[in-house]
């Protein structure tokens, strides 16, 4: 598994968080969404792809996309950093 290639394959977008939070939440896009296509990944071998797909089957869409989001912080940067950390940890655990 090559972490650098994995992160290059990810698409990130910032969206508005939902729910309560005062005026700030309605004006800024702090929630970060990660989209990664498992089937087209060059960072994993075919065996690794099958293992990840099996272990994360409840999180992988029918199209083979893994979609994760984070909106715990008011900072878009902190949310993106936490999301990347969680994504890499999730893939590492799925490969063991």
Instruction: Give pLDDT tens digits along the chain (96 positions).
Output: 788 999 999 999 988 766 565 555 556 778 999 999 999 999 999 999 999 999 999 999 999 899 999 988 888 999 999 999 999 999 999 998
Position 75 scores a pLDDT of 87
Continuous H helices in the chain? 3-9, 46-55, 76-95
Please, what is the angle between helix 76-95 and helix 46-55, to 10°? 110
Position 26 scores a pLDDT of 58
Position 24 scores a pLDDT of 58
Residue 19 in 3-state DSSP? coil
Measured in residues, the chain has a length of 96
Q: Which pTM value belongs to this model?
A: 0.85
33 with 67: CB under 8 angstroms? yes
- Classify residue 16 as left (phi > 0), alpha (psi -120 to 50) or beta: beta
């Amino acid at each position: 598994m090559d972490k650098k290639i994995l992160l290059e394959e990810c698409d990130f977008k910032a969206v508005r968080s939902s729910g309560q939070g005062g005026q700030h939440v309605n004006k800024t896009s702090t929630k970060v969404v990660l989209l990664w296509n498992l089937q087209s990944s060059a960072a994993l071998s075919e065996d690794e792809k099958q293992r990840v797909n099996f272990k994360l089957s409840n999180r992988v869409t029918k199209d083979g996309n893994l979609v994760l989001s984070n909106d715990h912080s008011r900072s878009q940067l902190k949310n993106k950093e936490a999301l990347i950390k969680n994504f890499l940890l999730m893939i590492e655990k799925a490969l063991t």
